[in-house]
Structure 1
């Protein structure tokens, strides 16, 4: 059964079958090959994998992001970032990264940020004179900050998979690494803008226009504070926080800013339903695959093999990181978390590695995989938006990928970068 599970999964992936179908099909094939269990078990696992109250946070966070985009709040954020720093050398590059950091506190989805506000800022950079490949690469690299800075859909899934960490603990652990990713891209943009002499400054707006833009984006900027403050203060759970974020986005867009119209609501709801269905389908299929792994005792075998190596904690982290980097080339982030975390997290805890530190290593590692070919989801989205060949975009993103890998290495080497803030707030394991 183990051989059937692995072979079917690998063969379908190579054949180009969507990863969700590959996982579900491999689980079903292994079950049928064993012949001792009813295939109805697959249907039961599909539903039980989604039968979780915290799972409701996913569609609510997606809805909040769609309401922000539909209400043109994301456009306001892009324009504000451009007005704030677009008048210096490489200014639109800084604005691009700044917008990515800002949006990370609203959407929690790299794909949503790349497809929505990312397309807007790419167009602005292209019109200003920046090379299209540079604008696209910087946007793709900035988009992966979204799953690191809270709120984060991936962190919600991780917390459901590993009971040793909480959603709020992961949210707090992601703040410093997310800011470091943004800072690394800002420094890289400064160096490239100086080397390439990107002198495409935007006109400096008047103080009146700037203050008006600041006033309009202030409500959007308060959303991350409301989410984290409400959870930390015990006002609501992370799932309820997602619902609050959706209601808040609607109120801001409809009544405060006034850019969200009633006619847009049906389209936003349909888009949210489609995106949520895709994410939840991947999760349910991954649950089937993970169940078969457990039944076949593959996690236990892998854990024993890793423990048998006798690696120190740092050596184990490095080995796991290299393994995850390889997995990120072929697996999407969500199924990778569901499949690999139950295998690797117990090994890390047995080695004395802080669960929050290990969680950030895994999440950051797999998130970087979203901008690495051949299965980099963000690369595909930006490639479609810009009509750049995937190979051209992959080559353009290499400098950004290198600096983000440097940040990742720092997170691996210095646990305090990811554990200091949650420990300070009392979210220890």
Structure 2
């Protein structure tokens, strides 16, 4: 049954089936060929995959991000980020990264970042004299900060697969890795801007303008603090925090900034529903796939096999990095987490690896797959949003990928980068 499952998934993906459909159909074929269980078990497991209270946070965080975008609050964040660095050499590149860091604290989605503020920043950079493919590549790379800095949809899904970590702990742990990625991208932008002569044409804003932009951005920035502080001090759970985020985003857009109109609500709700449906469909389809692997004893077999190799924790993490980087080329992060974490997390725990560190390595690794040619889904979204060809975008990627891999190695060899902050706050 396992062989049928794997071969079926590969063939369906080669034929161009969407990931969710490929997972569900491969599972159904495997159950039919195996003949041990009724077909009804596939539907039962699909329902089980989305029958979770913490999973309710996903649609609300998506809705909050759409309300922020629909209320034109992304422009407020862009002006706030650009005012500090826009006048420097390569300044708009830094602003691109900075806006992704700020928007990550609202959306939790790389695709939303690339299609929203990322597309706007690419247009601004192109007008200022930056090469469009470079601006698009920077946008794609900075967008992956979205699933790292809280709130993060990927981390919510991860916590459902590994009982040793909580959503709150992962949210806190994501700050340092997210900022490391941002710093690495800024270093790349500094180097490329010097080599290509990307000079700023914008004058440094006056102190008065900077103060006004900062004051205007405070309500938006407070959303991130509200979520993290509320979870840390037990005011609400992560799921309840997502509802608070929706209410807060609506209040900001409708009454504080007065840019969110009633006529926009149906379209915002529709986009949120479609994106939520796509996420939950992947979640549902991943569950029977993972269930078949479990009942066939694949996780147990792999655990015993890897433990018998007597790898050190570092060697195991390096092996996991290679596996996930390859896996991430062909698979989106969410099904990757659903399928691989139940297999790999118990092995990491048996080797004494801190579960928070391992979670960060897995999430960052699979997120990198979104910008890895030839299949990276974020690349296609960025190409459409920025009107750049895939071949042009791919030519600009190598230096960014090197920077991202350096960050990944740091997270692998220096556990404190992942665990110090959540452990300091009591997680």
TM-score with structure 2 length normalisation? 0.98
Instruction: Give the secondary structure class of the aligned counterpart of 2:106.
Output: coil
Instruction: Give the secondary structure class of the aligned counterpart of 2:50.
Output: coil
Partners of 1:209 and 1:298 in 2: CA distance: 60
Displacement of 1:58 in angstroms is 0.3
Corresponding residue of 2:47: 47
Instruction: Give the secondary structure class of the aligned counterpart of 1:228.
Output: helix
Instruction: Give the secondary structure class of the aligned counterpart of 2:108.
Output: coil
1:13-92 → structure 2 map (5 Å cutoff): 13-92=13-92
- Per-residue CA distance 1:340-394 (angstroms, 9 max, x = gap): 0000000001111111111111111111111102221111110112232223212
Count of residue correspondences: 427
- Per-residue CA distance 1:296-346 (angstroms, 9 max, x = gap): 111111112211211111111101111111101111000000000000000
Instruction: Give the secondary structure class of the aligned counterpart of 1:231.
Output: helix
Give yes or no for contact 1:140–1:379 (8 Å, CA) kept in 2. yes
Give yes or no for contact 1:130–1:200 (8 Å, CA) kept in 2. no
Corresponding residue of 1:425: 425
Partners of 2:412 and 2:391 in 1: CA distance: 29
Corresponding residue of 2:195: 195
Corresponding residue of 1:344: 344
Corresponding residue of 2:12: 12
Displacement of 1:205 in angstroms is 2.8
Corresponding residue of 1:290: 290
Pair 1:365-2:374 in alignment:
no
Partners of 2:166 and 2:58 in 1: CA distance: 16
Displacement of 1:47 in angstroms is 1.2
Instruction: Give the secondary structure class of the aligned counterpart of 1:397.
Output: helix
Partners of 2:379 and 2:259 in 1: CA distance: 30
Corresponding residue of 2:108: 108
Select between 3-12 and 30-39 the one with higher mean Cα deviation.
30-39
Partners of 2:210 and 2:424 in 1: CA distance: 36
Partners of 1:250 and 1:402 in 2: CA distance: 40
Partners of 2:344 and 2:391 in 1: CA distance: 32
Pair 1:328-2:328 in alignment:
yes
Partners of 2:326 and 2:238 in 1: CA distance: 31
Unaligned runs of 5+ in 2: none
Partners of 2:201 and 2:142 in 1: CA distance: 21
Partners of 2:170 and 2:119 in 1: CA distance: 29
> After TM superposition, which residue ranges in structure 1, 4 or more long, deviate above 4 angstroms?
none
1:93-172 → structure 2 map (5 Å cutoff): 93-172=93-172
Partners of 2:92 and 2:294 in 1: CA distance: 49
Displacement of 1:246 in angstroms is 0.8
1:381-400 → structure 2 map (5 Å cutoff): 381-400=381-400
Corresponding residue of 1:186: 186
Select between 213-222 and 386-395 the one with higher mean Cα deviation.
386-395
Give yes or no for contact 1:90–1:201 (8 Å, CA) kept in 2. no
Partners of 2:93 and 2:216 in 1: CA distance: 22
Partners of 2:37 and 2:352 in 1: CA distance: 38
